Amino acid sequence: MASKIENPFSMRFVLPEQRELYLQLKEDEKLVSMPVIEQDELESFHYSIRDSAREDYAITVTWWRQVKGNLGSTCSMWGAVKWIDQQGRRIKIVNDTDVQWVNMDRIVDVRV
């Protein structure tokens, strides 16, 4: 059983504003800065993306999404690359249930 210090919501009187602020603080602690990607990793990502678009097979793409200032979170999606927008530097990933445009400069991992 958690003590009252570990679980602040077990106390009797907590204002909704206090609870919201506490939960927002906990969400902010999960944010990370954008990882630095080496050039050889970046070239490998681009090769996998082009190959998925050409051969029409699914890959898992992980990208960084900015939330507050220089901090953000990582998102991931699997699917086939259906379109590569060279001018906009983004790719279109499609799977059975979702379609997502991902900025190529924010991609941090690609898995086959």
Distance of alpha carbon 74 from alpha carbon 95, whole angstroms: 19
The CA-atom distances, in angstroms, between 73 and each of 36, 53, 106, 109 are: 14, 26, 11, 13
Q: Find out if CATH 2.30.30.100 is the number for domain 33-111.
A: yes
Which pLDDT score is estimated for 83? Answer: 94
Radius of gyration of the chain (CA): 19
| Pairing assessment for the beta strands 99-103 and 107-111 based on DSSP bridges | unpaired
pLDDT, block means (10 residues), the chain with 112 residues = 58 78 85 91 94 94 92 94 94 95 94 90
Segments making up each domain of the chain, as ranges? 1-30, 33-111
**Which residue type sits at 109?**
D
Which pLDDT score is estimated for 34? Answer: 87
Which pLDDT score is estimated for 15? Answer: 82
